[in-house]
Every structure is written in C-alpha cells, then in structure tokens.
Amino acid sequence: MIKTLLLFPALALPLSAQLRITEVMSNSNHSDTAANGDWFEITNTGSTAINIAGYSFDDDDRLAGASGGFPAYVLQSGASMIVLNDASDNTFRSLWNLDLPIRVIANAEISNFPGLGSAGDEVNLFNNSGGLVDRFTFGAATEGFSFAKYNDGQSVPGGLSSNGVLGAYESDDPSDDIASPGISSDVPAPLPPFFVMPFQTSVIAGSSLSASEYRVRSIDPNPGDTISLSLSNAPAWLSLISVSNGIGRFTGTPTNNDIGSH
C-alpha cells in the first residue's frame, strides 16, 4: 500500500495584524490651538516589533494612502504611538507630560490628515501594501473626552475615557481633555458583581411587598456580562423577581407566623 503524506503550510497572520487603534480624540477641548487637533493612538498588541514606514490612514472614505505614508518608525511590542493633527508635537507633549519614548507623528510628517468628524466617523489604518489593518468606528464625540478601547478591540465601559480609570488623566490645558495618550490597557481580569446595599425596612404582616418598590441592585464591572440574581435561605413567602440585568424586586406577603428578621 502506498501512503501519501500531505503537508499543508501553516498560515500566519501578517505582523500588521498586531496593530490596533486603541484611542481616538475627535473633539478636543484644549484652548491652546497648538494642541487641539484630532489624534488617535496605535498600539502594537503583538510580540514582535513593527516598522510602520509607509503605513497610512483615512476616515470613513476608507482610501489607503489618503494620509500619505508614515515615516519610518519601529513600534515595539506593547508600545503605543500617537498620530496628531497639529503641526508640531511639542505643545501636545507638554500638556500631556508624555514620556520621550512615546512617538508622536505630527501632521507635518505626513502629506494629509483626514479630519475626524466630531459627529461620528472612522479611523482606518492601512499597511504599506494598502491592506486594512484595523478600523475604529465612533459616534458623536463628547468634547474633551477620547473614545477608548482595550487592546483586544473591545470598547472600555461607556466607550469614553474616564479620569483616573485605565490610565486616563487630565491634560494640563486650562480647558483640559481626559484621555490616556500612549497608554493602552488589556481587559481586566473578571471581577465578581457587587451589590448596592438596598435598605433595612419593616413590613407589616399581611401586607404585600408588591405594593412597594423593594428592590436590590447589583453592578458587574465586566462589560457585557449578564447578572443572575437568586435568593438563598429565604422564607417560603419571599420571592425575588428579575426586573432587568442586575436588578430584582422582592415580592410576597408575610403572615403573623413570619414575624421576625429575614
């Protein structure tokens, strides 16, 4: 018997697939006109450094090369860089107290900066062969707050940067922005839901709880999760009905025999 061994080459994603657009500022609140342009952040989420020479971007027109090619720069594994619609990065760096290793490509280093619409737009990143690397689609901006994503492409809770959360902070401009330029984050480890303490209350025997809004509310710090509520060691007359994700309502009618604490 003749046996044939078929060998299939392993397929690997191009290195550029490691790059993600992790933050977009489309409506800066800065009063300093030298640093109030649009900007976005690119993060190398892979394990290999990438030279971004010849890479380009566009808005929702989605045309490779629309910005002109980026200058040569090697973006290290785990590092982030900024593409800025201001003539120089000096004031931007100063207002954000950026570390020197964080690369900022100002618009003077490319031939065009397609504007990012504050009413909603896209950033499309292309490699030096014109292939789409990543796309960041965003809606209407809140002035002074950047849109942000985790390194895996999920939006952060609420979609916007929040001061003191996931590396976001205030810039030094009198009309400050909230963002985290040069800082990107992995999705945090899953955390258990926590309960918002409802109340301690008294119920008159024979009165139905459904006549009042006795509710319990829980919050899950992991975006997108569904919370299930249940009662344990509860008296037979007491029930918990789900109202919405993480919110439940107590129902039931206690009798004289149920007088006590539960």
Q: CA-CA distances (angstroms) from residue 202 to 205, 251, 261?
A: 9, 14, 9
Residues 224 and 111 in one domain: no
Residues 174 and 201 in one domain: no
Whole-prediction pTM value? 0.71
The confidence score (pLDDT) of residue 106 equals 98
Q: Which of 152, 179, 206 is the last residue of a domain?
A: 179
Among 74-78, 145-149, 257-261, which stretch is predicted with the lowest mean pLDDT? 257-261
CATH number of the domain at 131, please.
Answer: 2.60.40.1260
The confidence score (pLDDT) of residue 236 equals 82
Q: Give dist(CA 81, CA 18) in Å, integer.
A: 14
Mean pLDDT confidence for 1-10: 44
Structural domain contains residue 33 = yes
Q: CA-CA distances (angstroms) from residue 219 to 224, 234, 247?
A: 11, 22, 9
Residues 71 and 163 in one domain: yes
Percent of the chain clearing pLDDT 90 (strictly above): 63
- How many domains are there within the chain? 2
Residues 162 and 106 in one domain: yes
Q: Which residue has the tokens 């039931």?
A: 252
Q: Give dist(CA 186, CA 154) in Å, integer.
A: 10
Q: What is the pLDDT of residues 128-171, one digit of tens each?
A: 999 999 999 999 999 999 999 999 999 998 899 999 989 999 99
Mean pLDDT confidence for 9-23: 70
Q: Tell me the pLDDT band of 214, cut-offs 50, 70 and 90.
A: low
Contacts of 58 (CB under 8 A, 6+ apart): 64, 66, 67, 114, 124, 126
Residue with the bigger pLDDT between 91 and 189: it is 91
Per the CB < 8 A criterion, the answer to whether 260 and 237 are in contact is no
Mean pLDDT over the full length of the chain = 85
Residues 21 and 148 in one domain: yes
Q: Give dist(CA 242, CA 257) in Å, integer.
A: 27
Structural domain contains residue 4 = no
Q: Give dist(CA 89, CA 91) in Å, integer.
A: 6
Structural domain contains residue 164 = yes
Residues 159 and 73 in one domain: yes
> Which residue segment(s) compose the domain that 109 sits in?
17-179
Structural domain contains residue 185 = no
Residues 114 and 57 in one domain: yes
Residues 145 and 27 in one domain: yes
Q: Give dist(CA 134, CA 50) in Å, integer.
A: 15
**Per-residue 3-state assignment (H helix, E strand, C coil) for the chain:** CCCCCCCCCCCCCCHHHHEEEEEEECCCCCCCHHHCCCEEEEEECCCCCEECCCCEEECCCCCCCCCCCCCCCEECCCCEEEEECCCCCHHHHHHHCCCCCCCEEEHHHCCCCCCCCCCCEEEEEECCCCCEEEEEEECCCCCCECEEECCCCCEEEEEECCCCCCCCEECCCCCCCEECCCCCCCCCCCCCCEEECCCCCCCCCCCCHHHCCCEEEEECCCCCCCCCCCCCCCCCCCEEEEEECCEEEEECCCCHHHCCCC
The confidence score (pLDDT) of residue 168 equals 95
Structural domain contains residue 87 = yes
pLDDT value at 26 more than 70? yes
